[in-house]
Amino acid sequence: MMMVDGKVALVTGAGRGIGREIAVMLARHGARVVVNDVGASVGGEGTDQGPGAETVEAIRAAGGQAVLNTDSVTDRRGAETMVQTALDAFGRIDIVVNNAGILRDRIFHRMTEDEWDAVIAVHLKGSFNVSRAAANHFKEQESGAFVHMTSTSGLIGNFGQANYAAAKMGIAGLSRSIALDMSRFNVRSNCISPFAWSRMIGSIPTDTPAQAARVEKLKQMTPDKIAAVAVYLASDAAKEVTGQIFAVRNNEVFLMSQPRPIRGLHRDGGWTPETLAEEVGPAFRSMLVPLERSGDVFSWDPV
């Protein structure tokens, strides 16, 4: 079944890893693809056309259609050029996958402004830039799908990633707002929170046979598992799905909760600091969200 046959997709950060697998799978399901990648390091340094060109070649070798774009998502005009590349090469644009990202991890009290700005610029501003560049085209044709990458580092929490977590939570809010604003034009926007092996390899010890066996199991979390969900969300099969967040962990797919009130208290005449301490604190204490990390919530090995 060709899930996105005849559609045109733009995938950012498509030279390696998750982005590459999404681009390849979209093409396999009939989409014509603009492969965007600047070829930077994980930290965002440098440029290299090689990775993006390799993705394009892989798609073409399998009989698909793809073109390369090397503009940066951090640049508004670069984002507009990406969309124009789709229009020039294929005549339209139907799908945007905001996947480009970098990491500059640092414990918060040591994080620099540059480390903050660089990560926010690629993840959050980049997602806005590319989405905004495509939005008017989606509006005019009254169809389109955005798929954005968020993370449990923001949705749940992690050490040393304040910049990344803030950007990824921002993307969840951006996606929700796009879904609300553009639903009248049949435009959808959803998020994926991916679990990828590459994020875990540096922190998991393999000193014992049990640890080594667990690592081997974690290696099953390959990017194609995430790509499958991205292709589904980009397809007409998901035409009624918008404003949602999905987590993908090997063969597991989760629909993530979004903030909603869980308990309330009313007091005639309003509250004072003293009455809040006396009543609200004790009443809400058992429901306070604990300081957990992603691994605390997803505490079992991937299935």
Q: Residue 200: its pLDDT value, please?
A: 37
Q: Residue 1: its pLDDT value, please?
A: 80
Q: Is residue 281 part of a domain?
A: no
| Spatial separation of the C-alpha atoms in residues 49 and 213, rounded to whole Å | 37
* Residue position matching structure tokens 């035409």: 239
| Spatial separation of the C-alpha atoms in residues 135 and 141, rounded to whole Å | 10
- Residue 8, beta-bridge partner list: 32
Maximum alpha-carbon separation in the chain: 71
Q: Is residue 57 part of a domain?
A: yes
Q: Residue 202: its pLDDT value, please?
A: 44
Provide the token pair at 10. 């733009």
Provide the token pair at 164. 């990344």
| Spatial separation of the C-alpha atoms in residues 285 and 262, rounded to whole Å | 12
Torsion, Cα of 81, 83, 84, 85 (10° steps)? 90
Provide the token pair at 251. 């063969």
The count of structural domains within the chain is 1
241, amino acid identity = V
Q: Is residue 278 part of a domain?
A: no
Q: Is residue 301 part of a domain?
A: no
Give the active site residues: 164
Alpha helices per DSSP H over 198-303: 209-218, 223-234, 273-275, 281-284, 294-297
| Spatial separation of the C-alpha atoms in residues 102 and 98, rounded to whole Å | 13
| Spatial separation of the C-alpha atoms in residues 151 and 193, rounded to whole Å | 5
Residues in the chain predicted with pLDDT less than 70, given as ranges, are: 197-206, 211, 214-215
Per the structure, the complete domain to which residue 187 belongs is given by 8-259
Q: Residue 203: its pLDDT value, please?
A: 46
Q: Is residue 275 part of a domain?
A: no
Q: Residue 216: its pLDDT value, please?
A: 74
Q: Is residue 303 part of a domain?
A: no
Q: At what angle do helices 17-28 and 50-61 cross, to 10 degrees?
A: 20
| Spatial separation of the C-alpha atoms in residues 215 and 9, rounded to whole Å | 34
| Spatial separation of the C-alpha atoms in residues 69 and 78, rounded to whole Å | 9
- Residue 96, beta-bridge partner list: 10, 146
Give 35-93 pLDDT, tens digit per residue: 999 988 888 888 788 999 999 999 999 999 999 999 999 999 999 999 999 999 999 99
Q: At 239, which CATH number? A: 3.40.50.720
Which 8-state DSSP code applies to residue 75?
S
Q: Is residue 99 part of a domain?
A: yes
Provide the token pair at 267. 């007091």
Q: Is residue 282 part of a domain?
A: no
Q: How many CA atoms does the CB half-sphere of 259 hold within 13 Å?
A: 8
